[in-house]
Amino acid sequence: MVKRGHLTVIAGPMFAGKSSSLLQQVLWLEHNQKKTLVIKPHIDDRYDPENIVTHDQLRHRCVSAIDLELVKDNYNIKPYNFNTVFIDEVQFFDPKETLWFVEEGLRSGVNFMCAGLDQDFRGVPFDTTARLMALAEKVEKITAHCTVCGQPATKTFRTVDNDKSRVLVGGAESYEPRCTEHWSRK
């Protein structure tokens, strides 16, 4: 019988260090000669389309995927190929497809670590992240520092009013981390 893989989810607002935490684990496993697969959504092309890049410019090569079905078709997600699969900005992937992809890999014995926003700028949970958090053996909810008062920030505040859509890929030019006292839904 195959030992089930382990799922860890890192969640929180923008600028909390989710991608940095993910990359730290990637580098640690690679240093220990473990095989990894690193994935990010194609939509996240803020800094580099072929690398995960943190806001402070740490970077690592990755597969930039339109959807996880294509990743499954091109990579055999089995323990003899990968010890751990890492998915950054997981909130941008389809919830059902992501759960299917992760669950299938976990059943085959592959570990997963996913990082993503837990809420949008209105405070509405991202379904993909929420479902993975429910499935995970370990959840790391991390905070940033509020740009107004410096207290722990659990919310993402959109600073631009020109786009009301739920998804607006951006960085410091569009978003700030805020504590609940200094955050508003807009």
pLDDT tens for residues 134-147?
999 999 999 999 99
Cβ pair 152, 146 in contact under 8 A = yes
Global confidence as pTM: 0.91
At 31, list the tokens: 């240093």
Could you say which of 30, 50, 89, 176 is catalytic? 89
Does a structural domain hold residue 96?
Answer: yes
pLDDT at 186 over 80: no
Range of the domain at 109: 7-143
pLDDT tens for residues 14-28?
999 999 999 999 999
User: Residue 74's domain is classified under what CATH number?
Assistant: 3.40.50.300
* Catalytic residue check, 89: yes
Does a structural domain hold residue 162?
Answer: no
Number of domains the chain is built from: 1
How far from chain centre, in Å, is Cα 116? 3
Between CA 89 and CA 87 the distance in angstroms is 7
Does a structural domain hold residue 149?
Answer: no
Does a structural domain hold residue 25?
Answer: yes
